[in-house]
Structure 1
Amino acid sequence: MATAKAALLKQLADDIGGFTHDPLGYALYAFPWGEEGTDLAKHPGPRKWQQDRLREIGEHLQNPTSRYSPCRIAVASGHGIGKSALIGMIIKWALDTCVDTRIVVTANTEGQLLTKTSPEIAKWARLAITRDWFKPNATSLVSTMPGRDKAWRADLVTWSDNNTEAFAGLHNQGKRIVVIYDEASGISDKVWEVTLGALTDEETEIIWIAFGNPTLNTGAFRECFGKQRNLWITSQIDSRTVEGTNKAYLDELVATYGEDSDIVKVRVRGMFPSASSMQFISSDVVEAAKVRDVQALGSDPVIFGLDCARFGDDKSVLAIRCGRDAKSRPWKRWTKQDAMTIASEVALEAMRWKPDAIFVDAGNIGAAVIDRLRQLGVENVYEVWFGGEGGMAYLDNGVTVHTGNKRTQMWTRMRAWLSGGAIPEEQQLTDDLVGPTYSFGADEVSIVLERKKDMKKRGLASTDDGDALACTFAEPVLPRAVPGYLNPENYGHRPAMDRYDEI
């Protein structure tokens, strides 16, 4: 019995060894395609685009003239084509077929890496016929062979511009190196630059793979399809052409936003956006609002929006809007001021402008400001929780969208308003409005505005001015009293007129 088992294990090892330069053959052999009771019961094999990429790696390695030059593959695609699944297949093939292979995997965010990429890698490691060869951990896949766990492994690493050691020190001369970027558009150019240092080992199989939605029209991932395209094997994949994708959802995106919209280009067609990024508010719209002159109606309510910050570089900002006019009434800003001081000064502004609503960001010191304003007898004070439930909001061109949180809903309403509104000609406000990008939420339907802390990672300032103006759109506010002839309550109550009466 022991002898038979040993023979089977040796045969398995020999079979796997035969796929050293044939990742497609390995994938077809090692995973239980079409087997009942497995995750792959309904799948006869890898999807066509996945097979094409596996074949490209194999052809590169099988050619003696290219084997030891870096194999660089970049795929820009729409949503749901199975990028993470292919990453799992490639990692398992690379580890199983070359002793002491070193793999580093990273993604655009830590959340993407740990909640999406990592579970998919673990899944394919579990599905493989060689599942006992490597042990999956939360951030690694390591050899179970005694003494090999340090040298024969795949590691999932987070990155920052100040922490690139994992990429700078990636060397494995004479063996195999694999670098994988998941959602590559969001990975800093500095990390790309440092990774180049791993491509210098002689007589080493080096594979560098960059997958992702093409969310940014600038940066290293975009350059793979531009000025660096001679170095990369590139593909741009429309999700609608891939078997097994959610065609109804994809068609809904196209019907809602239009074939040539940036959302459809990025999330469906695998094309880079027309704007410089998935910028939520375009620069043209903001510039037009800065020079626009508008006249508020007498019935337009005056609305305060207050974004609160405690100390540090962020500021507390009071924006004042009346209908389409957010320009004529001067805004207020405070740096390193406590809640009591801010509340007192907002109360003075309320006495001056008599707002119909004061919407206050309740985070940070905002709750204390709200309490103090009410204590001072200021009326119409409402708290706003940026992380609260969003809901539907009008975007433009008759389109309404789902928003993932309250802050995104307010910014969406503000974006629609800007096409006819007027704002102060101040650079800080301009930078705030054009700075944030957007993405899709976990439900893949709602849109979510980029978080402040993620913007800071990109070197952008906190959007204090932008958030203050957005607060004025927290909730609808009723108009002030209107002349009788405009009051809907008077409709149908006019005295009857006899056209034949003498005048």
Structure 2
Amino acid sequence: MIILKMLKDLKLEEWTRENPVWFSEEVLKSSLWEKEKEILLSLKNHNEVAVRSCNAAGKSYTAARAVHWWLLGHKGSIVLTTAPTGRQVREVLWREIREAVANKPIYSPESVLETKINISNRWFALGLSTDQPDQFQGFHSPYLLVIVDEASGVEDLIFEAIDGLKPNKILLIGNALRNTGRFANVFKEQGIAKIVISAFDTPNLIASEFDNFEKFKEVWLKEGIKFFENKNKIVIPGLITLNDVIKFAQRYGIDSDVFRVRVLGEFPRAEAESFISIDEVNRAMSREVQIMPHWEKKMGVDVARYGDDRTVFIIRQMEKVLRKEIFIHQDLMVITGYILKIAEEENIRPENILIDVIGIGAGVVDRLKEQGWNVNGINIALPAKDKEHYANLRAELGGKIKDWLKTGQLLKDDDFFEATNIKYKFTSKGQLQLESKEDMKKRGLPSPDVFDALGLTFAFPAGMQEIYYPQSAGGVGQYYPEIGI
């Protein structure tokens, strides 16, 4: 076992402490690209390191190597890791931590647990969630490293608790999801090592001959998507690719906040007219909620309109989105068949199936009713029930989504970020009005079909209602009144 050699050989411990890249490559047998090496060397040379990056740049992979380097290079050390939710702690960073030493003679088998490596009572690594700040008390070591994953989503109260530990080193990693909070502020401070990783810095984009955004932007605007056919090259599987960048450009636009955050590693502009923020969506994706089996399921169906090519199904059970389905270029009869099939699979009652009737959706509703399924057709262009605050039903349903995102759980699916493209304004009567699909298309953005399908799950015919019991409210009921159609 390497750990036994460390106990006997002080020179090996010292060499490890001074050479984190060597340790990762030679002992852990990990392949590192240049930015990953830069993170490890910065952590060796600085007390606090902050890394903001694009999607799939290897942040958590590198942080996992840092955990083992610190433990094995500093006898009697402690590593604490955290993230916004327990699921992120277990399934992201600690999965990488476990995989880094899997089938390697590093620790004794019983030492490596789901969220802990236990060498001794005073020599260990531990994963903590951020739901209770007092968890970050009582840890004392001459060598204390704290790693905060998805740091943009961690509240300042947790950082205050971490500061109280007086750690030797702090590593903050994550996407730049919001302009406020500790993670955003450190990029404005002096004396902190800051690393920014754009997709265009990564080996796969460089191999695809797009090593800077300006070059990509020029080609994208002049030539369009066809130019990029057969250009995608993968030299390191798992890292972001040119095809991933193209997907973000197509779906959200190269000037969108989603593209800035997920591709360029930049903070969002946080435009005032964006109705839903990236941070709101990301928090809902990261959240874990409990639902009761007997709670009703709702199916929202946004049917493709006159040449549009996507029909979207969203199934929501109170505070949790359970399922998303997208069907391409399907006719009325096929969509009707899919609705029946999915409703039977999910045990959804006909009255809980809510279908947009604008366009060919009306034909889908008619066909289902002919077959004895009393589904509900929803016209989102009609006036809102709350006419004082909303210009139409679509805006009112959007308001329901925004409220629900405070406690609800979304699937981890980038399609939900399309909601962040939607702008809003207020009418002369002070009513909220959301940007129409047609206006979004004029801006070169696709129709927000997933957002609208989710909104339909909040549309209840007169006389129907839904009761919430949010976990965050300790089981206290939160009442959502029906919306009259």
TM-score bin (small chain): 0.5 to 0.7
Distance 2:34 2:355 in 1: 42
1:231: how far off?
4.3
Q: Which runs of 5+ in 1 are unaligned?
A: 34-44, 61-70, 200-204, 283-361, 368-382, 395-404, 473-503
Which SS does the other structure have where 2:22 is aligned? helix
Distance 1:156 1:422, change over 3 A: same
Are positions 1:215 and 2:154 aligned together? Answer: no
Matched residue, 2:129: 158
Aligned residue pairs total 319
Are positions 1:105 and 2:100 aligned together? Answer: no
Matched residue, 2:97: 121
Matched residue, 1:241: 201
Q: Which runs of 5+ in 2 are unaligned?
A: 204-235, 278-292, 299-313, 329-345, 359-378, 391-395, 421-453, 455-467
Q: Is the 8 Å Cα contact of residues 432 and 462 (structure 1) preserved in structure 2?
A: no
Q: Is the 8 Å Cα contact of residues 363 and 385 (structure 1) preserved in structure 2?
A: no
1:190: how far off?
0.6
Deviations 1:406-447 (A, max 9, x none): 99x999x9xx968998953349x7975545379984455565
1:258: how far off?
1.1
The range that moved more, 444-453 or 265-274, is 444-453
Distance 1:240 1:166, change over 3 A: same
* Residue identity in the other structure for 1:77: S
Are positions 1:389 and 2:389 aligned together? Answer: no
Match of 1:178 among 141, 145, 160: 145
Deviations 1:240-268 (A, max 9, x none): 32123232122211122111211111211
Matched residue, 1:296: none
Matched residue, 2:480: 464
Which SS does the other structure have where 1:390 is aligned? strand
Q: TM-score, normalised by structure 2?
A: 0.54
Distance 1:366 1:259 in 2: 36
Matched residue, 1:190: 157
Distance 1:90 1:366, change over 3 A: closer
Query: How high is the sequence identity, in percent, across the aligned residues?
Result: 18
Alignment of 1:130-141 (within 5 A): 130-132=106-108, 135-141=111-117
Distance 2:478 2:273 in 1: 18
Which SS does the other structure have where 2:194 is aligned? strand
1:104: how far off?
0.9
Deviations 1:295-315 (A, max 9, x none): xxxxxxxxxxxxxxxxxxxxx
Matched residue, 1:269: 264
* Residue identity in the other structure for 2:125: A
Distance 2:9 2:127 in 1: 28
Match of 2:56 among 73, 77, 80: 80
Matched residue, 1:31: 28
Q: Is the 8 Å Cα contact of residues 215 and 278 (structure 1) preserved in structure 2?
A: no
Distance 1:223 1:103, change over 3 A: same
Distance 1:12 1:92 in 2: 17
Distance 2:129 2:133 in 1: 9
1:14: how far off?
3.2
Distance 1:240 1:453 in 2: 44
Matched residue, 1:169: 138
Q: TM-score, normalised by structure 1?
A: 0.53
Which SS does the other structure have where 2:51 is aligned? strand
**Cα-Cα RMSD:** 4.7
Which SS does the other structure have where 2:168 is aligned? strand
* Residue identity in the other structure for 2:169: I
Distance 2:158 2:184 in 1: 15
Distance 1:6 1:388 in 2: 44
Matched residue, 2:32: 46
Distance 2:479 2:174 in 1: 27
Deviations 1:166-219 (A, max 9, x none): 3232322xx2001111111111211011111112xxxxx711111111222222
Distance 1:7 1:424, change over 3 A: closer
Are positions 1:425 and 2:388 aligned together? Answer: yes
Distance 1:7 1:118 in 2: 23
Distance 2:34 2:62 in 1: 11
Q: Return the index of the structure with the highest Cα Rg.
A: 1
Distance 1:123 1:267 in 2: 25
